[in-house]
């Protein structure tokens, strides 16, 4: 028995105590057996070594494990060490093949590998392969990989990509890869680690832990070890610790100290930034070549994460960034940190990124710079690029006063900047008063320069939007677009499109959708001219909503398709208006679940958008419950709508409230609520809600008046949806009046207008016409929702029974044609509907007239009604 101590470099490492296996990644490694090379490339602590050690224990292949060190990079040390690993992998009982000489070099290694049976698999795992920099070793490894040795699987685990021709292996299909993102722990795996150590966290605390660690295995394990056995483990979730055994100590020792001085300076001095680029880092640090350093750090898995395929934008891992910011605060004076921020502000401003310049000016508490940026382009930039300024901390800067002895121009900057901040935080209740006050101040002491005038006019436009004041919006829009010609407007790419879009939405919420459509066409052209895809997407989204609301389904679908294509091409977020359009389209189509999903998806992104869209989404939350009969839920949603809302949305809210009153048995209250719209341009919109209340009161004449007003009054407010609703209620009243023939005729017209696109009104009256549709299967066949079946044991169709009472009963085909005679369809149209020839239909008509008897069409219909055939 040998007492020799085995070399730890050629031994499979032991798993740490309470190690939690990761079956997801074990299965991935199993699936990689079809290629000779597998590369695990990720930074320190990613879990590469323990994953491979666990995987080896789950398999039955021969394993040669080599944990390389920098001293082993030389070929005279590397190949003998790998030979030892191969011999150790065979086991003492098997021993190495006797015929192989114990000489050093790749030839011996290849000889050992050649003795592995073709049916067996030889795993060669080289850990810390990034230390292998010797060109001879790398060349020999390359030949080994491409040599096609049967049964050989080479697995390299490295902190950065080894200096091998990896691109060739990818093209040749010889390599599988696992990167840091693949090795990051899932939420389920993080939960398993915590459970193994008896740690329970609330959902919020667990979410914070997962976000901070970003699935970094060492971060999760060290956090769990720190929380284990403590009474309140959640207290450690957000803690930044640097003591022995902490995450901070690990990152400083394993990552930061390994970097050269220039890289450490770069990382620490730019750590306050959320994103960093090479030019920005050059400006902040005063160094050159920062772009190359960032690319190298990202390539070496140094906790620098690229954010784009071009490798121009980067961010730091969340935990690493916390350590860097701690070192920044400890090593630099506060004034020095502010100096770094000022350099970033200057770089952003010089690059035209006024949004980020403003953000960092606020962070640096530089009120003078904030005032200048807001007044001279920053507010306009945020408006055009749809940036929400409410989260910057601007409110804390109020009151924003100019310094003593400030010039008139500087004083004007501060005044305009103050009005901007007040506008950012204004709501529907405060905006009208603020608008009046600022308008009075503006007339007394108007800003002198075009740049300040543009910001001042934009303040008026935004306040007009929030106050739902169409006159104020139009007046400001005319000045911003240069329509008045009072003063040349500075050219700001995207501003015309954004102003036209605001003007269009305001017109829309005031019920002027035709004006809105024309303005949206202009806005779309301007957005494309200025190459502003974000604005173009918003315009298309609003176009889709306008068309959906007025039941122009083809236009709505076209605009939505173009919007989604643009969004995918430019990787843009979905604007709330596009989800609102999808919700409207789903509602019209009777898809209540789809409508609810679209509304829920839009709500999180609604902050800072068009205030009308925000109100419309809240109203949309009440639509589906109201239609389903969940009246209390609908009323709760409607109560969340404020009192000051634009006219069109106020009508919609009151119509829905009236319907809830009618559903709760209070139709008179519903009529009182809608009385205020009598004689207004929106009166016709309330007709269907009033009709439902009148029907609840059995006031058929008043209900008929409501229908007549919709069907006979030309109005831009009436779209196909309302027309279809009116027709269906007209058919219902005809049925109640004992005129089923006329009811069928009106139903056919309603189906023609709906064109299979407007379904919700049919869904709401489905039970009302169930019996009639069963008696008229042709109409029932065109009905867009399933017709309720006849209850079991119900009487047979009376038309068939009556037909049998005739001296010569009508055939089923003749009954079908007889029912179509009640419509306005011609003989040729009936033939087309039934896929018959015109002559065949004429033959059936002759038989119908003879059997009833009747001499012409009108007489036949009258006789059929007397006999209850139709």
Strands 152-158 and 122-127: parallel
Q: The tokens of 550 are what? A: 């007025």
pLDDT of residue 445: 61
Lowest mean pLDDT among 194-198, 232-236, 589-593: 232-236
The owner of tokens 């994103």 is 275
Q: Which residues pair with residue 304 across a beta bridge? A: 316
Lowest mean pLDDT among 108-112, 270-274, 565-569: 108-112
pLDDT of residue 658: 94
CB 582 within 8 A of CB 560: yes
pLDDT of residue 713: 79
Strand order in the sheet with 313-316: 276-277, 313-316, 304-306
CB 542 within 8 A of CB 507: no
Region for 412 from its dihedrals, namely left if φ exceeds 0, alpha if ψ lies in -120 to 50, beta otherwise: alpha
* DSSP assignment letter at 254: I
Of residues 75 and 599, more confidently modeled: 599
* Rounded Cα gap, residues 196 and 224, in angstroms: 9
CB 710 within 8 A of CB 726: yes
Give phi and psi for 152, each to the nearest 5: -90, 130
User: 29: pLDDT confidence band, cut at 50, 70 and 90?
Assistant: very high
> Taking 60 as the threshold, does the pLDDT of residue 575 lie above it?
yes
- Give the start-end residues of each E strand in 493-544: none
> Taking 60 as the threshold, does the pLDDT of residue 66 lie above it?
yes
Give me the helices (H) in 32-165, please. Answer: 48-58, 75-90, 106-114, 135-146
Q: The tokens of 160 are what? A: 């950065």
* Rounded Cα gap, residues 358 and 387, in angstroms: 11
CB count within 10 Å of CB 367 equals: 17
Of residues 446 and 438, more confidently modeled: 438
* Rounded Cα gap, residues 290 and 8, in angstroms: 39
Of residues 350 and 642, more confidently modeled: 350
pLDDT of residue 230: 83
Lowest mean pLDDT among 112-126, 186-200, 219-233, 274-288: 112-126
Percentage of residues in the chain having pLDDT higher than 90: 49
What is the separation of C-alpha 820 from the centre of its chain, rounded to a whole number of angstroms? Answer: 49
Query: What is the CA angle 510-512-513, rounded to 5?
Result: 115
Across the range 182-189, mean pLDDT stands at 95
CB count within 10 Å of CB 39 equals: 22
User: 868: pLDDT confidence band, cut at 50, 70 and 90?
Assistant: low
pLDDT of residue 480: 93
Strands 304-306 and 276-277: unpaired
Q: pLDDT (tens digit, 9 = 90+) per residue, 495-512? A: 999 999 999 999 999 999
CA atoms within 13 A on the CB side of 623: 28
Q: The tokens of 611 are what? A: 């205030």
Q: The tokens of 669 are what? A: 């209250």
CB 223 within 8 A of CB 247: yes
Output 71-76 pairs: Cβ under 8 A, ≥24 positions apart. 72/9, 72/131, 73/131, 73/132, 73/133, 73/134, 73/137, 74/134, 74/137, 75/105, 75/134, 75/136, 75/137, 75/140, 76/104
* Residue 195: partners with Cβ closer than 8 Å, 6 or more residues away: none
CB count within 10 Å of CB 54 equals: 21
| Angstrom distances, CA of residue 86 to CA of 64, 95, 225, 420 | 5, 10, 36, 72
Q: The tokens of 171 are what? A: 């093209």
User: 805: pLDDT confidence band, cut at 50, 70 and 90?
Assistant: low
The owner of tokens 């039934």 is 834
Closest to 538 (Cα-Cα) out of 510, 569, 509, 566: 566
The owner of tokens 């047979």 is 796
* Residue 554: partners with Cβ closer than 8 Å, 6 or more residues away: none
> Taking 70 as the threshold, does the pLDDT of residue 95 lie above it?
no
pLDDT of residue 72: 83
Region for 442 from its dihedrals, namely left if φ exceeds 0, alpha if ψ lies in -120 to 50, beta otherwise: alpha
What is the separation of C-alpha 218 from the centre of its chain, rounded to a whole number of angstroms? Answer: 31
- Burial of 349 per CB tally in 10 Å (0-12, 13-18, 19+): buried
Strand order in the sheet with 37-41: 62-67, 122-127, 152-158, 37-41, 175-179
CB 765 within 8 A of CB 728: yes
Q: What mean pLDDT value characterizes the chain? A: 86
Q: Which helix (H) or strand (E) holds 315?
A: strand 313-316
> Taking 70 as the threshold, does the pLDDT of residue 607 lie above it?
no
User: 597: pLDDT confidence band, cut at 50, 70 and 90?
Assistant: very high
Q: pLDDT (tens digit, 9 = 90+) per residue, 641-696? A: 878 899 999 999 999 999 999 888 889 999 999 999 988 889 999 999 999 999 88
Across the range 476-490, mean pLDDT stands at 79
Q: Which residues pair with residue 276 across a beta bridge? A: 314
Closest to 800 (Cα-Cα) out of 782, 774, 762: 774
Across the range 848-870, mean pLDDT stands at 78
Give phi and psi for 491, each to the nearest 5: -80, 115
* Residue 21: partners with Cβ closer than 8 Å, 6 or more residues away: 54
Q: pLDDT (tens digit, 9 = 90+) per residue, 614-639? A: 889 889 999 999 988 888 888 888 88
Across the range 155-183, mean pLDDT stands at 93
The owner of tokens 């080994």 is 144
Q: The tokens of 281 are what? A: 């880092």
> Taking 90 as the threshold, does the pLDDT of residue 865 lie above it?
no
Give me the helices (H) in 664-686, please. Answer: 667-674
Across the range 854-860, mean pLDDT stands at 83
pLDDT of residue 96: 41
User: 23: pLDDT confidence band, cut at 50, 70 and 90?
Assistant: very high
Torsion of CA 598, 604, 610, 616, to 10 degrees: 40
* Rounded Cα gap, residues 456 and 443, in angstroms: 11
The separation between the first and the last C-alpha atoms of the chain, rounded to the nearest angstrom, is 105
pLDDT of residue 121: 72
Closest to 675 (Cα-Cα) out of 658, 692, 661: 658
* Rounded Cα gap, residues 72 and 77, in angstroms: 5
* Residue 547: partners with Cβ closer than 8 Å, 6 or more residues away: 553, 555, 556, 559, 581
pLDDT of residue 485: 63
CB 574 within 8 A of CB 581: no
Across the range 81-108, mean pLDDT stands at 58
Q: Which helix (H) or strand (E) holds 735?
A: helix 720-736
Q: Which helix (H) or strand (E) holds 169?
A: helix 166-172
* Rounded Cα gap, residues 653 and 588, in angstroms: 17
Q: pLDDT (tens digit, 9 = 90+) per residue, 509-563? A: 999 988 999 999 999 999 999 999 999 999 999 999 999 888 788 889 999 999 9
CB 534 within 8 A of CB 557: no
Across the range 50-66, mean pLDDT stands at 90
Q: Which residues pair with residue 63 across a beta bridge? A: 123
């Amino acid at each position: 028995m040998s007492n020799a101590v085995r070399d730890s470099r050629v031994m499979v490492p032991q798993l740490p105590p309470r190690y939690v296996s990761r079956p997801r990644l074990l299965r991935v490694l199993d699936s990689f057996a079809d290629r000779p090379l597998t590369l695990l490339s990720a930074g320190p602590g990613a879990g590469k070594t323990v994953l491979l050690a666990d995987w080896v224990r789950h398999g039955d292949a021969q394993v040669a494990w080599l944990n390389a060190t920098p001293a082993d990079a030389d070929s005279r040390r590397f190949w003998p060490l790998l030979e030892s690993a191969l011999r150790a992998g065979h086991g003492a009982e098997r021993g190495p093949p006797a015929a192989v000489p114990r000489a050093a070099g790749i030839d011996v290694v290849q000889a050992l590998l050649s003795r592995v049976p073709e049916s067996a698999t030889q795993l060669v795992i080289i850990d810390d392969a990034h230390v292998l920099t010797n060109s001879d070793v790398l060349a020999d490894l390359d030949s080994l990989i491409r040599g096609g040795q049967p049964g050989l699987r080479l697995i390299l685990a490295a902190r950065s990509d080894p200096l091998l021709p990896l691109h060739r292996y990818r093209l040749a299909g010889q390599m599988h890869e696992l990167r840091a993102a693949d090795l990051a722990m899932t939420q389920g795996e993080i939960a398993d680690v915590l459970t193994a150590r008896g740690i329970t966290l609330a959902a919020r605390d667990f979410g914070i832990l997962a976000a901070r660690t970003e699935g970094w295995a060492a971060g999760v394990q060290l956090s769990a070890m720190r929380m284990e056995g403590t009474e309140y483990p959640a207290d450690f979730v957000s803690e930044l610790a640097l003591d022995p055994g902490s995450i901070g100590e690990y990152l400083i020792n394993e990552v930061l100290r390994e970097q050269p001085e220039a890289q450490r300076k770069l990382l620490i001095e730019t750590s306050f930034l959320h994103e960093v680029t090479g030019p920005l880092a050059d400006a902040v640090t005063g160094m050159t070549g920062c772009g190359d350093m960032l690319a190298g750090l990202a390539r070496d898995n140094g906790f620098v994460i690229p954010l784009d395929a071009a490798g121009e934008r980067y961010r730091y891992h969340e935990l690493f960034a916390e350590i860097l910011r701690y070192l920044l605060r400890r090593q630099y004076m506060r004034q020095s940190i502010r100096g770094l921020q000022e350099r970033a502000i200057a770089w952003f401003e010089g690059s035209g990124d006024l949004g980020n310049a403003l953000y960092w000016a606020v962070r640096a508490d530089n009120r003078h710079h904030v005032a200048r940026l807001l007044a001279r382009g920053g507010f306009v930039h945020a408006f055009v690029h749809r940036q929400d300024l409410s989260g910057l901390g601007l409110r804390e800067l109020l009151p924003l006063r100019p310094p003593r002895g400030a010039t008139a121009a500087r004083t004007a900057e501060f005044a305009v900047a103050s009005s901007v901040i007040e506008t950012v935080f204004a709501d529907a209740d405060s905006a009208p008063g603020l608008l009046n006050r600022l308008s009075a101040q503006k007339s007394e002491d108007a800003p002198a320069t075009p740049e300040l005038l543009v910001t001042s006019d934009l303040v008026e436009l935004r306040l007009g939007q929030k106050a739902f004041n169409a006159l104020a919006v139009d007046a400001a829009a005319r000045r911003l677009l240069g329509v008045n010609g009072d003063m040349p407007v500075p050219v700001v790419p995207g501003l015309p499109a954004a102003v036209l879009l605001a003007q269009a939405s305001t017109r829309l919420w005031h019920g002027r959708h035709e004006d809105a459509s024309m303005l949206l066409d202009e806005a779309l052209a301007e957005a494309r001219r200025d190459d502003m895809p974000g604005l173009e997407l918003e315009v298309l989204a609003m176009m889709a909503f306008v068309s959906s609301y007025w039941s122009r389904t083809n236009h709505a679908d076209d605009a939505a398709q173009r919007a989604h294509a643009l969004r995918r091409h430019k990787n843009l977020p979905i604007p709330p208006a596009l989800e609102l359009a999808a919700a409207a389209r789903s509602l019209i189509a009777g898809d209540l679940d789809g409508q609810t999903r679209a509304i829920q998806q839009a709500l999180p992104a609604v902050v800072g958008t068009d205030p009308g869209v925000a109100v419309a989404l809240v109203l949309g939350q009440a639509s589906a419950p109201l239609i389903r009969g969940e009246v209390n839920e609908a009323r709760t949603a409607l109560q969340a709508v404020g009192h000051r809302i634009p006219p069109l949305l106020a009508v919609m809210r009151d119509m829905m409230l009236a319907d809830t009153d009618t559903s709760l048995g209070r139709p008179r209250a519903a009529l009182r609520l809608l009385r205020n719209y009598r004689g207004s341009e929106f009166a016709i919109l309330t007709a269907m809600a009033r009709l439902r209340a009148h029907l609840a009161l059995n006031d058929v004449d008043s209900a008929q008046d409501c229908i007549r007003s919709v069907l006979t009054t030309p109005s831009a407010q009436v779209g196909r949806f309302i027309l279809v609703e009116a027709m269906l209620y007209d058919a219902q009243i005809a049925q109640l009046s004992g005129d089923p023939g006329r009811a069928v005729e009106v139903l056919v017209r309603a189906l023609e207008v709906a064109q299979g696109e407007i379904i919700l009104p049919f869904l709401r009256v489905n039970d009302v016409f169930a019996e009639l549709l069963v008696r008229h299967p042709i109409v029932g066949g065109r009905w867009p929702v399933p017709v309720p079946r006849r209850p079991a044991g119900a009487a047979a169709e009376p038309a068939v029974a009556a037909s049998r009472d005739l001296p010569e009963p009508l055939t089923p085909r003749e009954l079908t044609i007889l029912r179509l005679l009640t419509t306005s369809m011609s003989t040729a149209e009936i033939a087309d509907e039934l896929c018959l020839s015109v002559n065949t239909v004429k033959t059936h008509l002759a038989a119908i007239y003879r059997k009833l008897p009747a001499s012409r069409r009108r007489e036949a219909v009258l006789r059929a009604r007397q006999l209850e055939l139709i």
